[in-house]
Structure 1
Amino acid sequence: MTVIDETRSAHAAPADVHDRVRQVYARVDAGDVEGLLDLFSDDVVYDRPGYPSLVGRDAFERFYRTARVIREGVHVPDSVVVDGDGRVAVQGRFTGVLKDGRAVDLRYADFFRAGADGRFDRRDTYFFSPMV
């Protein structure tokens, strides 16, 4: 369900934010770190259990290039809900392989916040498994 409130001009249109959040997963799954970075603001804050808070584009990029324990996989968002304030809630399933070779198949929840330009300045990720 996408909630669209055209009266709020301080934030990107919900339909645009919905498309951008789906692009996040497509770019992560494709290993397109540069394309992924384009979807986030320079001062992005990313929180994910098992990792220190990532603040700024450099930390965000470093995470995706070196620190992330996932080697490859596919995110399948089952539900994407966007409000009129640029906030997005996502539930889905991730299937992939960790860097140590273990296969994983688990659910996740993600929360994003988009600014007026549509780029995300905040992301919080939760997996239904410890430290993924």
Structure 2
Amino acid sequence: MDVLIAGLRERGQLDDEPRRLLDVGCGTGCAAGCCGTSGGDGPPGWTRMVCLAPVLESKTRKGKGMNLSDRKKLVLRYYELIDAGSYDELFEMFDEDVVYERAGTRSITGKEEFQAFYMKDRRIAEGRHSVTTVVSDGDWVVARGTFEGVLKSGEEVSVTWADFHRFRKGKIWRRYTYFGDRPI
């Protein structure tokens, strides 16, 4: 493992020291297989779990991806932009082939349809998202929270929601929205 890390660092592909966690891996249950064991160079019977997530998700991969923290920040920024009505910047976060599924409605496919939804079809006139939870794993970021606002009909609403965002090439490629109270 140390040879792998040194090689990545030599090629400029790694600038952060990966975290080494003895006998616990990354703590995520390694659903993505990000952890492995290394050993043999230490005392007899030496085995260490090494979290490879910092290697796999490093920002220094020369534009080949985002790290988990960047994805979380982008998703949180999405809610700030939508609440502020800053649509031009918001649309830049999404892949050209975006697919957006909202509970109880047909899928919105492609960036053009996605933009049309926000510019004219969205039922919300104004409001504020409060994000209570953000979890990321691999290409996915899940956010959960509440929304309080006013619909275009004038009705005041307060709902809970959960959004699932899947990333591709640094942009949101798939988005799924679920409402806990009622769809809006």
TM-score in same-fold range (> 0.5): yes
Q: Do the aligned residues in 1 keep the contact of 2:159 with 2:182 (CA within 8 Å)? A: no
* Aligned positions of 1:24-35 closer than 5 A: 24-35=78-89
Q: Do the aligned residues in 2 keep the contact of 1:12 with 1:114 (CA within 8 Å)? A: no
Corresponding residue of 1:8: 56
Distance 2:119 2:105 in 1: 14
Distance 2:136 2:164 in 1: 10
Please list every run of at least 4 consecutive aligned residues from structure 1 whose deviation after the TM superposition is greater than 6 angstroms: none
Q: Percent same amino acid among aligned pairs? A: 36
Cα distance, 1:124 vs structure 2: 0.3
- Tell me how many residue pairs correspond in the alignment: 128
Higher relative contact order (CA 8 A, sep 6+): 1
Distance 1:26 1:97 in 2: 17
Larger Rg: 2
Cα distance, 1:52 vs structure 2: 1.3
**Gap runs ≥5 in structure 1:** none
Cα distance, 1:127 vs structure 2: 1.3
Question: Once superposed, what is the RMSD of the aligned Cα atoms?
Answer: 1.6
* Aligned positions of 1:75-94 closer than 5 A: 75-83=129-137, 85-94=138-147
Q: Any idea what SS the aligned residue of 2:55 has?
A: coil
Distance 1:107 1:125 in 2: 11
Q: Any idea what SS the aligned residue of 2:178 has?
A: strand
Q: Do the aligned residues in 2 keep the contact of 1:71 with 1:99 (CA within 8 Å)? A: yes
2:160 is aligned with what amino acid? R
1:46 is aligned with what amino acid? Y
1:126 aligns with 2:126: no
Give the TM-score normalised by the residue count of structure 2: 0.66
More strand by share: 1
In terms of mean alpha carbon deviation, does 64-73 or 46-55 score higher? 46-55
1:98 is aligned with what amino acid? L
Cα distance, 1:8 vs structure 2: 2.1
Q: Any idea what SS the aligned residue of 2:177 has?
A: strand
Q: Do the aligned residues in 2 keep the contact of 1:113 with 1:123 (CA within 8 Å)? A: yes
1:95 is aligned with what amino acid? E
* Aligned positions of 1:45-64 closer than 5 A: 45-64=99-118
Give the TM-score normalised by the residue count of structure 1: 0.90
Corresponding residue of 1:69: 123
